[in-house]
Chain A
Amino acid sequence: MSHETVAIIWFGLWGLIWTVYFVLDGYTLGTGMLFPFLAKNRQERNQLQEAVGPFWGGNEVWLITAGGATFAAFPAVYADLFSFLYTPMMLILFALFFRAAGLEFMHKDESKRWQTSWKWAFTISSVALALLFGVAFANLFYGLKIGPSGYEGTFLGLLHPYGLLGGLLFTSLFIVSGALWIMIKTVGDVAQRAYQIARPASVVAAVVLSLFFVATSNRTTLFDNFTKAPILWIVPALTFVCALLMLLFVWQKRIGLAFANICLTIFTLMATGFIGMFPNMLPSRIDEKYSTTLFEAAGSELNLKIMLGVAIVMVPIIISYQLWSYKLFKEKITKETAKGYQ
């Protein structure tokens, strides 16, 4: 296996790890965004906490792995991406603090003020994370203002219409994912209310997704790779098909299938983005020559091969015990039995 081949494999893995993170944390972020609107009392809050409680920590490690894999396999991208996007990255970190603490600390004290503060910390952080990740990845697809001397843009400069549309897209997809997850995991009023939200939210998500694809084709060069190798169109086509199926299944109230399709929508959406970026990892909006490609950023051949070996051994093990944990907690959570975070 040549250095180039293993670098390309790592680009694929890099995209895959980010994608798995968004698919998995999507439902937790969605649950967080909907939390105060679905749960009207302590028992119902317990239900929602328990719907994500056993899993969110393990899911968030996919984000840490994404960071670690970027660092290990593409050090130059790790260095530039996070220092170029310094302010949004810091905001993401702050939101991650309060998402976790909000969820876990909320019921650890009986004071009303305590509970309300952490509850809203959980929700606002979840909204912020969905928006920020959406804006950040839309900007990666769009291209950053990278010039001869590095990053020339500003934080507010990232909030152009296409970036904001990306934020809106992530937010709406995650809300659908969260609402469906809650319906899968719980019974009773919260599940009912989740369905009330899932229906309009699925329409909004599908509309925003369409707008995002139109904007992508008009405003970015992301689809160039697809034009070059038309077989690849199958990926964004799948995004559309899955989104439509999701919509259909939501309205038919076939929630398991709807959830599977929202996950596939997120998956193929991210795949479309990463295929479109290839071989760039830090695309420059100013001039192609300032872009960083995966070949320029890749770590040494030995490092990439060793890390590939570690990933091949570890990832199946991780997936099997994570699946086992989902199986262990497959029972629906009722109002009466829910304990939440005590």
Chain B
Amino acid sequence: MSDVLLLSRFQFAITVFYHFLFVPLTIGLIVLIAWMETQHVRTKNPLYRQMADFWGKLFAINFVLGVVTGITMEFQFGTNWSEYSKYMGDIFGSPLAIEALVAFFLESTFMGIWLFGKDKISPKLRAFSIWMVALGTNISALWIITANGFMQNPVGYIERNGRIELQNFWEVVTNPYAWHMFVHTIVSCYIVGAFFVMAVSAWHLLRKQHVVFFEKSFKYALILGLIATTATPFIGHKSASFAAKMQPAKGAALEAVWETKEGLPFHIIQIPDPKNERNIVEFLTIPKLGSYFYTHSFDGKVVGFDQIPKDERPNVNIVFYSFRLMVALGLYFVALCWYGFYLYRKNKLIESKRFLKVVMYSVLLPYVAINAGWVVAEVGRQPWTVYGLMRTAEAVSPISLSQILFSLVSLVVFYTILLIADVYLMLKYAKKGPYASTATKGGEVQHVS
């Protein structure tokens, strides 16, 4: 049974990571495309339409894989976590159903309209359709995170008939834990979208091709990136300190706090040693800052692992290093965006080859950061699947080892095939540039700007 549990967890991790390779770009990129379509309506400048067509094509390739990998998630709670689904379904199922009703229908239907209608319908209708897609993708994040928020911080429920039953829907949808995560996730997705557009634009700008087109795209992404990266440290900090308050074990793992302390220092360099419940290295220490991070008071009390039973602790190393990685990358993104902004104001953006190269090679880092953030959220909650209510070990389906092996191996194989195809197509169409992708009849669209 423990093998089935381990492999089921492995399968869930793989499928959710894989799904989340596509989702952040969907959420982030669509906002930029909608903005371009709006500009097209306002200015009637065909350049904006060409921009929306080019980025929209990349969006569409990414979108289809987001959809199909999402279906796996939708059914996997039943196939692999049936005990969880039985116990939790009364609360966990409804956000998923609502997500489909209010978000998935909207984004899928209007994506079809935009993709096949963009040469037939008016610019206003194009803009409207793409805004509906943007609305759908963003709302879908809200509902799935409402569901996840309940796992992190169960509210509005009562334990009855051997399961969790809904008692207060309002509490479930206003769960502060979920809203913290939602805002943090959405803004991080905008960083993914912004960096994607900046990186592809940088590739072309370095080759001095389609300069007007990609300078404009870069500018749009840079503005979104500036706002999103600057907001993220504050939003992320609020989210993390709230998480630490609600889940002390996760909180202790964030900074590897072994002893409960007032006036906890912060170590810029730190290496935890979970086996001996201590840190091997604590270096570049700033006194009392740790307490400030956790409690907004330099003398605040921070709960350490000494107050948490051993069987209620997550894997400290995974949580600790993922958290550090995410924070470090987040700060790097702020610096990169502000430096880009400085270059842009000085009109030196296109000449700064080194900067453009750095941006280009940074394209995957926001993906790393956002997935590291989810590792903190999910691994940090272990051994619980629903915090304080149900352990992960109790949640798994009573399936056989051969079944889980069959599905795990097949999923890895099929997902790898799809990923290779996706990366190939994304690179191909990103490099191809705007002319090949524009569907406008009668040759090239003129650059007017």
- Residues of A near any B CB (own CB < 8 A): 50, 53-58, 60-61, 63-65, 67-76, 78-83, 86-87, 89-90, 93-94, 96-98, 100-101, 104-105, 108-109, 150, 299-300, 302-303, 306-307, 310-311, 314-315, 318, 321-322, 325, 328-329, 339, 341-342
Residues of B within 8 A of A53 (CB): 112, 115-116
- Closest residue on chain B to residue A103 by CB atoms: B64
Contact with A along B84-105 (1 / 0, CB 8 A): 1110111111101111111011
B34 CB–A CB distance under 8 Å: no
How far, in whole Å, are A307 and B100 apart by their CA atoms in the complex? 12
Residues of A within 8 A of B105 (CB): 58, 61, 65, 314, 318, 321-322
User: Is A57 touching B67 in the complex (CB atoms < 8 A)?
Assistant: yes
Residues of B within 8 A of A311 (CB): 101
Q: Identify the 9 closest CB pairs spanning chains A and B, nearest first.
A: A75-B89, A82-B78, A71-B93, A72-B93, A68-B97, A79-B82, A57-B108, A58-B109, A79-B85
User: Is B108 touching A58 in the complex (CB atoms < 8 A)?
Assistant: yes
How far, in whole Å, are A322 and B79 apart by their CA atoms in the complex? 30
User: Is A79 touching B109 in the complex (CB atoms < 8 A)?
Assistant: no
Given contact pairs A72-B93, A303-B165, A97 touches B418 in the complex (Cβ within 8 A): yes
Query: Quick one: which of B60, B68, B112, B120 contacts A101, CB cutoff 8 A?
Result: B68
How far, in whole Å, are A53 and B425 apart by their CA atoms in the complex? 19
- Closest residue on chain B to residue A97 by CB atoms: B68
Residues of B within 8 A of A101 (CB): 64-65, 68, 418, 421
User: Is B410 touching A90 in the complex (CB atoms < 8 A)?
Assistant: yes
User: Is B166 touching A306 in the complex (CB atoms < 8 A)?
Assistant: yes
Given contact pairs A68-B99, A299-B89, A83 touches B398 in the complex (Cβ within 8 A): yes
User: Is A78 touching B90 in the complex (CB atoms < 8 A)?
Assistant: no
How far, in whole Å, are A342 and B56 apart by their CA atoms in the complex? 12
Interface centre among A50, A300, A302, A328 (most CB of B within 10 A): A300
Give the interface SS of chain A, mostly helix, strand, loop or mixed: helix
User: Is A86 touching B112 in the complex (CB atoms < 8 A)?
Assistant: no
- Closest residue on chain B to residue A105 by CB atoms: B421
B74 CB–A CB distance under 8 Å: yes
User: Is A68 touching B100 in the complex (CB atoms < 8 A)?
Assistant: yes
- Closest residue on chain B to residue A114 by CB atoms: B421
How many Å from the CB of B201 to the closest CB on chain A? 22
Contact residues, B374-426 vs A (CB, 8 A): 397-399, 403, 406-407, 410-411, 414, 418, 421, 424-425
Query: Quick one: which of B96, B113, B429 contacts A72, CB cutoff 8 A?
Result: B96
User: Is A72 touching B94 in the complex (CB atoms < 8 A)?
Assistant: yes
How far, in whole Å, are A61 and B425 apart by their CA atoms in the complex? 25
Residues of A within 8 A of B361 (CB): none
Query: Quick one: which of B94, B108, B428, B437 contacts A61, CB cutoff 8 A?
Result: B108
Contact residues, B181-220 vs A (CB, 8 A): none
How far, in whole Å, are A329 and B110 apart by their CA atoms in the complex? 12
How many Å from the CB of A164 to the closest CB on chain B? 22
How far, in whole Å, are A339 and B398 apart by their CA atoms in the complex? 48
Given contact pairs A65-B101, A109-B428, A71 touches B418 in the complex (Cβ within 8 A): no
Query: Quick one: which of B64, B90, B119 contacts A104, CB cutoff 8 A?
Result: B64
Given contact pairs A54-B116, A109-B428, A93 touches B104 in the complex (Cβ within 8 A): no
User: Is B406 touching A87 in the complex (CB atoms < 8 A)?
Assistant: yes
A-B contact count (CB 8 A): 222
B41 CB–A CB distance under 8 Å: no
B439 CB–A CB distance under 8 Å: yes
What are 8 inter-chain pairs, A to B, with CB distance below 8 A?
A50-B116, A53-B116, A54-B112, A64-B104, A73-B97, A94-B414, A108-B61, A318-B101
User: Is A75 touching B79 in the complex (CB atoms < 8 A)?
Assistant: no
User: Is B93 touching A54 in the complex (CB atoms < 8 A)?
Assistant: no
- Closest residue on chain B to residue A149 by CB atoms: B398
User: Is B67 touching A60 in the complex (CB atoms < 8 A)?
Assistant: yes
User: Is B82 touching A82 in the complex (CB atoms < 8 A)?
Assistant: yes
Interface centre among B99, B100, B439 (most CB of A within 10 A): B100
- Closest residue on chain A to residue B400 by CB atoms: A86
Residues of B within 8 A of A81 (CB): 78
Residues of A within 8 A of B10 (CB): none
How many Å from the CB of A213 to the closest CB on chain B? 30
User: Is A329 touching B116 in the complex (CB atoms < 8 A)?
Assistant: yes
How far, in whole Å, are A55 and B115 apart by their CA atoms in the complex? 11
B80 CB–A CB distance under 8 Å: yes
B284 CB–A CB distance under 8 Å: no
User: Is B78 touching A83 in the complex (CB atoms < 8 A)?
Assistant: yes
Given contact pairs A53-B116, A328-B121, A307 touches B97 in the complex (Cβ within 8 A): yes
Residues of A within 8 A of B65 (CB): 101
Q: With A79-B78, A83-B82, A97-B418 given, can you name 4 additional A-B contacts, CB distance below 8 Å?
A: A72-B90, A104-B64, A302-B166, A342-B439
User: Is B88 touching A75 in the complex (CB atoms < 8 A)?
Assistant: yes
Contact with A along B350-391 (1 / 0, CB 8 A): 000000000000000000000000000000000000000000
User: Is A306 touching B117 in the complex (CB atoms < 8 A)?
Assistant: no
- Closest residue on chain A to residue B165 by CB atoms: A300
B169 CB–A CB distance under 8 Å: yes
Residues of A within 8 A of B85 (CB): 71, 75, 78-79
How many Å from the CB of B210 to the closest CB on chain A? 19
B267 CB–A CB distance under 8 Å: no
B167 CB–A CB distance under 8 Å: yes
How far, in whole Å, are A80 and B80 apart by their CA atoms in the complex? 10
User: Is A67 touching B86 in the complex (CB atoms < 8 A)?
Assistant: no
Residues of A within 8 A of B439 (CB): 339, 342
